[in-house]
Structure 1
Amino acid sequence: MFRAALILGLLSAVGPFAIDMYLPAMPAIASALGADVSSVQLTLTAYFVSFGVAQLFYGPWADQVGRKAPLYFGISVFVAATIGCAMAPTIGWLIAFRALQGTGGAVLMVVPRAVIRDMHTGTQATKLMAMVMLVISVSPMLAPLAGSGLIAIGDWRLIFWALCLTAAISFFLTATLLPETLDPRDRISVNLRSQWCGSKTLIQDPIFMGLTFIGGFGFASFMVFISSAAFVYSGQFGLSPTEFSLAFAINAVGFFAASQAAGPLGERYGILLVIRWAVFGFAGFSIALLSIGMFSLISLPMVVVGLFLANACLGLIIPTTMVMALDPHGEIAGLASSLGGTLQMVTGGLMVMFTGLFFDGTALPMIGAIALCAGLALSTALRTLAILERRIERSPT
């Protein structure tokens, strides 16, 4: 299991690296290309939305031809788009190439999750998913520092050249170390009718949709943080790119550290109980941080500690909801993974756009949007878990 987690984690980390290495450079990009804050945030929104929508393509394709061919194609698109980002002359071109980059990078979200479902289900899948997230956790800790280091010796374009090298390594891993996990006998012919029927089954399943949006609203809060943090920490709190990278790592590490406890806690207390208490914690910490911020002066330590606690709860929510959403749909795991990922990424992208309407470079709008996401996750969880518990009670033992 460790080798599989290492390979899948390294593959899955390419997408986060394309975000996290880039964050310290956002103010520099705004200055170099003569762009305002909202335009630079659009480079993230374009990446997120195309990243989400493209998953609808990769999932069914992976169910039809296996897991490796889509990886080869998507990584190649990612490399070409990253070169375009490195050479972009204007903010408009950068937004366009970031959208194309997200289209290629989406394969590294869909296929590894489907591979996990091919290999395991239940708590074993949760354990493997958590181990994959442990490998991914190097991204929020090391990628911003790497990005700030590259800015120090060059400029923001050097970050994209480094991402080209990272993508090339992922292509090599796919070709040499990743086995094909989908047996030819289990592959399904994909056409518009079968895709529509599968999508209809998933959309009409309140458990799948509910679990997807619990994780989706949680992930949206993280996307809001990612798109706003560089401007808040550098503008309101005056941090340098390196100091921002360290603060960002502290906020993000809570998520990935807690994700490692998801499997053991699920085995001991049950996944439903873990999700319930994690969602309550996520909402409680986020709303408490917002309340403190509204009635007192917002300080850097308060923001860092509050988001650390909220993101720790989020680290228990995302892997457990992801696994439970896919568990009953093993025969269409690729489609389920892609549809779930699309819904989550588009939800996050829309939330980032919504936040941009009110964002003024300070922490309070960012915290308010995160608290809104947490409240939506809590209300969705209360409905979904009640339905799921009734379904479990009615099922034969």
Structure 2
Amino acid sequence: MTLFRAALVLGLLSAVGPFAIDLYLPAMPQLAASLGIDEAGAQLTLTAYFVTFGLAQLFYGPWSDQSGRKMPLYAGLTLFIIGSVGCAMAPDIGWLLAARALQGVGAAVLMVVPRAIIRDMHTGTQATKLMAMVMLVISVSPMLAPLVGTALVQLGDWRLLFWALSGVAVLSLVLTGTALPETLARADRQPINLRSLWAGSKVLLSDPAFMGLTLIGGFGMASFFVFIANASFVYQGQFGLTSTGFSLAFAINALGFFGASQVAGPLGARVGIVRLMGFGVFGFAGFTVALMLLAMSGAASLYVIVGMLFCANACLGVVIPTSMVVALDAHGRIAGLASSLGGTLQMLTGGVMIAITSLFVDGTALPMVVAIAMCGVAALVLALLTLRRISLDPATPPAIS
């Protein structure tokens, strides 16, 4: 399987989970009005998705280590389809939350298994290049999904978005069956039992480099989740953008991340993956703290927010792919478990940050940018404690010292 084909297939599969978030962001105010709930209630639909999305990864990783990578994909996508249909038919917020939770359970497989497949195929700089190419394919979600969502809402209402997600998942099932080979040889499969799961989890949880790298990426992703949960209300409420205007502003923020992710591989080969990650974390923290100070002083206009988040997300574009790759490099034998545990920790970090932010939402940008800055500071502290443990030699894969 060529690098390009692998990136295309894995990217399209990986994009389904983010697509389930980004597609309906422009419709969140409409959804809230339709179901008679407030802004915090609408954000619960994201929290329900993120929590189950995170927890279910604990299951898919070990399962994929035992059965191979494809069977869990079939099961997860089937659950995602059922959850999407349930969302489309939801008569009230309780039903919608339950269906969104089921969606998250299904989508979790698309976070775990593609990362494990990348580790099956490559390590080090080559894996970073493949991860960056996958990120490029995933970029269709934050750039186009809100615009597609806006168009679909104009044709129907927010329920049509979930019918569309059902169709996307069906196409993903076909893609899995026809274009994705099995990458885990039978000789390398690990049986599932509580003893082996505990032993593997103990190794991962006691590895300060794995935990530090995972949480660096986790706080980076948490900043995205905080933005996702609040942006539609801030951009359309405080700044008066239309749903189309919001979609374009959202795409600009995403463009910084995915544009920068494409240079992560070449830059990592030149200056060292770990050193590059350090530069990225420092920039992310600097831009987000600066934005927070501007917001506190009343100087955070729409253009300032979009511009500063573009720069912060560009820094994250070289942090998140590299942190994922380096965290898995030393744990190839349990790549599925490592991917699932890392993904769970990252998603739970994001869910906690959304929950904290929801306590302070007031329809303005300040709570959002303060929470994003908190993520930046946390990632920087973790980087200062973690990256010194890892080899900085750009000519070799990172080694844990």
- TM-score band (shorter)? over 0.9
Q: 1:140 to 1:396 in 2, by over 3 A?
A: closer
Pairing 1:273–2:287 present: no
1:1-20 equivalences under 5 Å are: 1-20=3-22
In the other structure, the counterpart of 2:249 is 247
Deviations along 1:131-156, one digit per CA (max 9) or x if unpaired, are 00000001111000000000011100
TM score, norm. by length of structure 2: 0.97
Structure 2, unmatched stretches of 5+, are none
Which of 351, 360, 363 in structure 1 is aligned with 2:362?
360
Deviations along 1:37-68, one digit per CA (max 9) or x if unpaired, are 11110000110110000000000000000000
Q: 1:342 to 1:157 in 2, by over 3 A?
A: same
Pairing 1:285–2:264 present: no
Q: 1:90 to 1:314 in 2, by over 3 A?
A: same
Q: Distance in 1 between matches of 2:189 and 2:244?
A: 47
In the other structure, the counterpart of 2:48 is 46
Deviations along 1:338-387, one digit per CA (max 9) or x if unpaired, are 00000000000000000000111110110000000000000000000122
1:115-126 equivalences under 5 Å are: 115-126=117-128
Q: Which amino acid aligns with 2:155?
A: I
1:1-397 equivalences under 5 Å are: 1-389=3-391
Deviations along 1:169-206, one digit per CA (max 9) or x if unpaired, are 10000000100000000001110100000000000000
Q: Distance in 2 between matches of 1:162 and 1:396?
A: 44
Q: Which has the higher helix share?
A: 1
Secondary structure of the 2:199 match is helix
Deviations along 1:266-317, one digit per CA (max 9) or x if unpaired, are 0000011101110000000000111111113321100000100000001111
Q: Which amino acid aligns with 2:286?
A: G
Q: Distance in 1 between matches of 2:53 and 2:218?
A: 14
TM score, norm. by length of structure 1: 0.98
Q: Distance in 1 between matches of 2:183 and 2:299?
A: 53
Please tell me the root mean square deviation across aligned C-alpha atoms, in Å: 1.6
* Offset at residue 390 of structure 1 (A): 9.6
Q: Distance in 2 between matches of 1:390 and 1:166?
A: 41
Q: Distance in 1 between matches of 2:304 and 2:96?
A: 34
Q: Which amino acid aligns with 1:125?
A: A
Q: Which amino acid aligns with 2:364?
A: T
Q: Distance in 1 between matches of 2:218 and 2:246?
A: 26
Q: Distance in 2 between matches of 1:189 and 1:153?
A: 49
* Offset at residue 388 of structure 1 (A): 2.3
Q: 1:37 to 1:3 in 2, by over 3 A?
A: same
Secondary structure of the 1:365 match is helix
Contact between 2:330 and 2:400, CA under 8 Å: does it hold in 1? no
Identity of aligned residues (%): 67
Q: Distance in 2 between matches of 1:76 and 1:153?
A: 27
Q: Distance in 1 between matches of 2:194 and 2:40?
A: 38
Q: Distance in 2 between matches of 1:159 and 1:241?
A: 14
* Offset at residue 96 of structure 1 (A): 1.0
Q: Which amino acid aligns with 2:257?
A: F
Contact between 2:86 and 2:99, CA under 8 Å: does it hold in 1? yes
* Offset at residue 389 of structure 1 (A): 4.6
Please identify runs of 4+ aligned residues in structure 1 that moved more than 3 A.
389-392
Contact between 2:80 and 2:106, CA under 8 Å: does it hold in 1? yes
Q: 1:396 to 1:326 in 2, by over 3 A?
A: closer
Secondary structure of the 2:190 match is coil
Q: Distance in 1 between matches of 2:374 and 2:391?
A: 26
Structure 1, unmatched stretches of 5+, are none
Range with greater deviation from structure 2 (238-247 or 382-391): 382-391
